[in-house]
Amino acid sequence: MSDDEPSAGFDEIATTWLAALEAGLLQTPSDVRDPAAWDTYWRNQIEAGPISQAFNDMMSSAPTLPELLFKRGCRAILCVGNGLSTEAQALSMFGFDVTALDISTVPAEVFTNMLSDPEHPMRAVPGFAIDDDNRVTFGHARRIDPELTPLIHRSANLAPRGGGALSYLTGDLMNPDVCPGPFDAIIERRTVQLFPEDQRIPAFERLVGRLAENAVLVSHQHHGGRRPGEERDDDAGEWLRSRGFVTVYRSTSESAPRLAWLICSSG
């Protein structure tokens, strides 16, 4: 293999991705609650290659998050609008019981196909097991080799461990009968911000309605034009505080009974 082959391979991926972007194939659907539109979006993402998702995972990675959830005694976690992010997989290998929810059928299909590969790294995790509903569990090994886990959220202070679980479900977060909970933590990244402005608080109401009494809500907005040091354009902070949440904007060890970590990224 010549030294320039990896670069040539990346150049081809980048060219394919850029062409799809310029053609408008990677734009998020205008109707956030249209399952067919999201199916098309995610299939376009898969066709274009992994650049967008790799960037999103890098942007979302928070090594302090698993430690915060662990210290607060969280167990059941819901990742809303998870899409093709590896966040749900990573958290399940920190020992949490994770449900990944998306309105598109594609993420669950990708997960099922991934598990059919006998060489997939997840299958090498000690105690790996899968049931008829494609729910994965990891035995109670004291430690999981970090090299078997996704890069997102890797932490110097908390090693991956057994005892976790992972399942992918398809449904609309606005339907309270879908994944009703209660959950110890809910994570939504760049999902609620896609709703029309007058529907964002109702979306947060649906999320909060799924939380246990003492729980964590992680809400992540992304604004490309945001300048360093500017606070998040906070649609929900005041509403969350009125519902008894302590809101924070950076990693914290806050022990408040109800905690909302409101993240804003840019770039």
pLDDT digits (tens, 9 = 90+) for 167-187: 999 999 999 999 999 999 999
230 backbone dihedrals φ, ψ, rounded to 5°: -75, 140
Question: Distance between CA 147 and CA 150 in Å, rounded?
Answer: 8
Buried b (16+ CB within 10 A) or exposed e, 187-205: bbbbbbbbbeeeebbebbe
Lowest mean pLDDT: which of 21-25, 34-38, 167-171, 211-215? 21-25
pLDDT band at 18 (very low <50, low <70, confident <90, very high): confident
Rounded to 5°, angle at Cα 56 from 153 and 86: 50
- The more confidently predicted of residues 55 and 152 is 152
Domain ranges for the chain:
5-56, 61-265
Helix (H) or strand (E) holding 9: helix 5-22
Question: Distance between CA 255 and CA 57 in Å, rounded?
Answer: 27
Question: Distance between CA 53 and CA 40 in Å, rounded?
Answer: 16
Question: Distance between CA 205 and CA 185 in Å, rounded?
Answer: 14
Q: What CATH code is assigned to 61-265?
A: 3.40.50.150
- Torsion angle of the four alpha carbons 56, 60, 116, 120, in this order, in degrees rounded to the nearest 10: 100
CA distances from 196 to 32, 33, 46, 115, 202 (A): 9, 11, 26, 36, 11
Question: Distance between CA 263 and CA 45 in Å, rounded?
Answer: 24
pLDDT at 1 exceeding the cut of 50: no
21: closest CA among 52, 55, 56, 60?
Answer: 52
What is the reported pLDDT for 5?
Answer: 52
Of 44-48, 114-118, 201-205, the range with the highest mean pLDDT is 201-205
Name the pTM for this structure: 0.90
Question: Distance between CA 164 and CA 125 in Å, rounded?
Answer: 11
pLDDT by residue (tens digit) across 192-205?
999 999 999 999 99
Q: 82: phi > 0 → left, psi -120 to 50 → alpha, else beta; which?
A: alpha
pLDDT band at 11 (very low <50, low <70, confident <90, very high): confident
